[in-house]
Amino acid sequence: MSLSKVVIYYNARCRKSREALQIIREKGIEPEVRDYLAEPPTPAELSEVLRKMGKKPREIFRKSEPLYKDLGLKNKDLSDEDLIDYLHQYPILIERPIVIRGQRAVLGRPPEEVKKII
């Protein structure tokens, strides 16, 4: 098993975030807990996380968030770079939790998904 540091993009008010953190800790791992709302990931960090997840920016938006509709983010003309900028500017739009370990990352929905990389 890799000894790579585990990082979780975490929102304490989110039940899925709390469940994912509990799963990680039950494996004896104390992750770096990143409150991504208080400390939004940079566009470069977001690009790297997306690469590790094998996902496009559109795949990690919280589409149920009213801001998603208000900002017109369904617009297919928006580039990946544009979408990453929106995720950085409005971190509430980032689906959570995201768990990163080494060269892999997963979206913890459902929270059991994190077991794939820990």
Q: How far apart are CA 26 and CA 29, in angstroms?
A: 7
Q: What one-character-per-residue DSSP string does 20-67 give?
A: HHHHHHHTT--PEEEETTTSPPPHHHHHHHHHHHT--GGGGB-TTSHH
- The answer to whether 14 is a known catalytic residue is yes
Active-site option among 5, 7, 8, 14: 14
Q: Which of 85, 11, 17 is nearest to 46 (CA)?
A: 85
3-state class (DSSP) for residue 86 = helix
Active site residues: 14
